[in-house]
Amino acid sequence: MPNTSPGPARILGEVTLIMVIPMLGGVVVGLVLDAQAGTSPIFALGGLVAGSVTSTAGIWLYIRMRRRP
């Protein structure tokens, strides 16, 4: 039976994308909202928190998906 599990490089790439994209996206959206509202860094920090929560949920779902046979 062939080994069909992904290699470490693929897992590292997937985890990096799951973590970086939501956090970076949240910060970018927050910076845009800060520029429009004339505030700083309220929305950027809120975007970072929202992105971190989303990343945590994404990693949790990724682990659950990988653990199922």
Instruction: Name the pTM for this structure.
Output: 0.81
- SS3 track for 1-15: CCCCCCCHHHHHHHH
The SS3 of residue 65 is helix
Whether 12 is in a domain gets the answer no
Exposure of 31 in the CB half-sphere (CA atoms within 13 A):
6
The CA angle 13-14-19, to the nearest 5 degrees, is: 100
Residue 1 pLDDT class (50, 70, 90 cuts) = low
pLDDT, tens digit, 9 for 90 and up, residues 24-57: 999 999 999 999 999 989 999 999 999 999 999 9
Whether 10 is in a domain gets the answer no
Is 66 a residue whose pLDDT tops 90?
A: no
- How many structural domains does the chain have? 1
- Where in the sequence is the domain holding 51, given as residue range(s)? 25-69
Nearest to 66 by CA among 1, 53, 58: 58
